[in-house]
Amino acid sequence: MTSEEIEKRIAELGKEISADYAGKDLVLVGVLRGSAYFLVDLTRKMHIPFAIDFISISHYHDQGEGAGVVRITKDLDLSITDKHVLIIEDIVDTGLSLGYLLRNLKTRNPADLNVCTLLNVEARRIVEVPVKYKGFDMPNVFVVGYGLDYKEKYRNLQFIAEFDRRKETR
Amino acid sequence: MGLITISREFGSGGETIARLVAEKTLFLLVNKDTINKGLADYGIEEPDASLEKLATEEESDQFFQQYVEAMHDLIYDLAIRNSLVILGRGGSILFRDYPPALHVRVISQFTRRVQRIMKIYDLNSETAVKLVKEQDCNMRNYYRKVFDVNWTNLRPYDLVINTEKMGLEDAADLIIAAYRIHAEPREMRDSAVPAELENGIFTAQAGEEEEKFMHPSEEEFAGMLDFYRIRWQYEPRTFLLEWDSEGNVMEAFSPDFYLPDQDLYIELTTQKPKQAWKKNRKIRRMKELYPHINVRLIDKRGFESLLKKHRLDEDEGEES
C-alpha cells in the first residue's frame, strides 16, 4: 500500500468518524505502540472535538512458556465512563488481545465502545471482535511499515509492505 | 427354525425393538454387524460399504450385485441353522414365500422420528430433519434397486406397529405374541426382560479426564487462550457425521477446542494442505449437518504464523 493510498483511506475514515461522532463526547484510545502513526494521521483528518488516551497490554510472547495472563502495562489516564470510546488499532488479526481489551474497557461502562483499525486480517481471526471502521482488509501476510514493525524496525516507513522474514539477515 | 423379520423407518425405534425381541426369544439377531462379520466368508472384501449409498451410485453396479447376492446367501445359510430376527436388509422380501415367518414393519410419524433422533443423537431439529429425510430416501432407493418394490407399501407385512403410542418394550412383547399366534405350535422360551433398554445407543459425549492433548500444538494453543483469559474446553463434543441405515455411526468428528464465550469450535491442523483434505471434508459435512454451530479451521499456515508471531519473533508489532 502506497503512502497515497493510505492517506486517501485515512481521510475517508476521518470524515466518516467525524460524522458518526458529531456532538458526542469522544475518547480515542490508541493501543501502543503500533497504532501511534495511524492515530496521529487519523485525528488530523477529523473535524470534531475529542480526547486522546493510550493503553498498552502485555502479549503472549512477553511471558515465559505458559506463564501468567494478559495484563495492562499502561492504563488509561482518563475515565471513559459514559464516554463514547473508539479503540484505535494498527492491525486486528487473531482478535485475542483486542478481545481482552474490549472486555476490560466494557467493565468501565462507556456510553459505547467501538473499534477502528487500519488493517484487518480476517483470515487469522480466532475470536470474533466487532470492528466498526477498517482501513484495509488484508490477506494472511506479514507486513511492516506505517507503525507496524519487525523487531521494532520499519515502523517509520510511509508505506505498508509485505515482509519476507526468511530473507532477513540478523 | 423360527423367523421374524423387522423392517423399520429410520428413527422409529425398530433397532431397539429388534434387539429386545431377539433377547426375549433367544433368536439370533441379524443386523448390519452380523452381516458384515459373516460376509468375509462369502468373498466380500469391503463389508463396511454402505449399501444404501452403493444403491444410489450406478457405477458400482457390479460390486453391488455381488454384495447383495452374498448377503442373501449368508442370510439363507444362517436361517438353516438358527432361528433369526432379521433387522432390515429386505428380510421380509427374502422370506416372503416362507409361511412360518412373521414380517413386521415398525413405523412412526415423521415428526416423532425426528424428535427421537434429536434425543438419541443430541441433534438440533434442522439436522435431525435432514438426516431422517436422507435415510428415508436411501431406504426407498435400496428397495427399488434391489427388490424393485415400493418401500412405502405396507401390504406385504403381517404386523405394522406404530411406536407413537406404544413403548418399545411393549412393541417387542406384541411382536412376540403375534409370532406365537402366527407360528403355533412353535416353541418359545421366555427369558428375563433386559434392563438396559437403550443399551448400545451412541451418545455424543467425550471423556471428562484431565486434559491430555493429542498434539503439542494444541497445548501451545491452549496456553495462548489461557493467557488471553479465554475460557476453553478440549474436545468436549463429538459431532456425528455419517450413519448407516441402522443408525450405526460411520463417521464422527471432535473439534479440538470449544470456546464457550464465543460459542465457537476450533480445529487445528498442522497437516500439509494435501493431507488436510479429509479434515476439510469433515468440516464441510459438519457445517452442512449443523449449520448453527460455528466451527473454524486453523490450518498449518495460519497456525505457524500464529506461533511465529507469539513465540519466535519478539514483538513484531502485529496487533500492536
ipTM attached to this prediction = 0.80
Q: For chain B, which residues lie within 8 Å of any Cβ of chain A, measuring from their own Cβ?
A: 223-230, 259, 262, 264, 266, 296, 298, 301-302, 305-306, 308-311, 313-320
In this prediction, residue B24 carries a pLDDT of 86
| Interface contacts A/B by beta carbons within 8 Å | 107
In this prediction, residue A30 carries a pLDDT of 95
Q: Check A35 against B264: CB less than 8 A apart.
A: no
Judge whether B225 and B261 are in contact, CB under 8 Å. Answer: no
Of B224, B264, B317, the CB nearest to A60: B224
CA distances (Å), origin B5, targets A87, B175, B202: 69, 10, 24
Q: How far is B261 from chain A (nearest CA, A)?
A: 9
A32-41, A86-95, A101-110, B234-243: which has the minimum mean pLDDT?
Answer: B234-243
A93 is an active site residue: yes
Interface test with B, best of A73, A88, A127 (most B CBs within 10 A): A127
Of B305, B311, B320, the CB nearest to A124: B305
Q: How far is B256 from chain A (nearest CA, A)?
A: 13
| Strand B233-234 to B257-259 pairing | antiparallel
CATH number belonging to the domain at A3-141, selected among 3.30.1490.20, 3.40.50.2300, 3.40.50.720, 3.40.50.2020: 3.40.50.2020
- The C-alpha cell that represents A65 in the structure block: 512458556
| Residue of A93, A112, A149, A164 marked active site | A93
* Pairwise CA distance, residues A136 & A138, whole Å: 6
Instruction: Write out pLDDT tens, residues B135-162.
Output: 888 888 888 877 788 888 888 898 999 9
Q: How far is B302 from chain A (nearest CA, A)?
A: 6
Measure the N-to-C terminal CA separation of chain B; round to a whole number of Å: 78
Judge whether B6 and B18 are in contact, CB under 8 Å. Answer: yes
Residues of A in contact with B229 (CB under 8 A): 69-70, 100, 103
Of B296, B305, B317, the CB nearest to A140: B305
For every residue of chain A, which 3-state class applies, written as one string? CCHHHHHHHHHHHHHHHHHHCCCCCEEEEEECCCCHHHHHHHHHCCCCCCEEEEEEECCHHHCCCCCCCCCEEECCCCCCCCCEEEEEEEEECCCHHHHHHHHHHHCCCCCEEEEEEEEECHHHCCCCCCCCEEEEECCCCCEEECCECECCECCCCCCCEECCHHHCCC
Is the peptide bond preceding residue B311 cis, with omega within 30 degrees of 0? no
In this prediction, residue A22 carries a pLDDT of 92
CATH numbers and ranges of domains, chain B:
3-183 (3.40.50.300), 216-312 (3.40.960)
Is the pLDDT reported for residue A18 higher than 90? yes
Residue found under cell 493503553: A55
* Pairwise CA distance, residues A23 & A31, whole Å: 24
Q: Which residues contact B164 (CB under 8 A, 6 or more apart)?
A: B108, B109, B112
Is the pLDDT reported for residue A113 higher than 90? yes
Beta bridge partners of A136: A119
Q: Check B302 against A68: CB less than 8 A apart.
A: no
Of B227, B309, B313, the CB nearest to A68: B227
Residues of A in contact with B267 (CB under 8 A): none
- Burial class for B156, CB neighbours closer than 10 Å (0-12, 13-18, 19+): middle
Nearest chain B residue (CA) to A170: B313
Residues written for chain A: 170
Which is nearest to A12 in space by CA: A51, A48, A33, A42? Answer: A42
Instruction: Write out pLDDT tens, residues A86-110.
Output: 999 999 988 989 999 999 999 999 9
- The C-alpha cell that represents B33 in the structure block: 454387524
Q: In the sheet where B257-259 sits, what is the strand order? A: B233-234, B257-259, B264-268, B294-298
Is the pLDDT reported for residue B197 higher than 50? no
Angle, helices B61-81/B32-39, rounded to nearest 10 degrees = 100
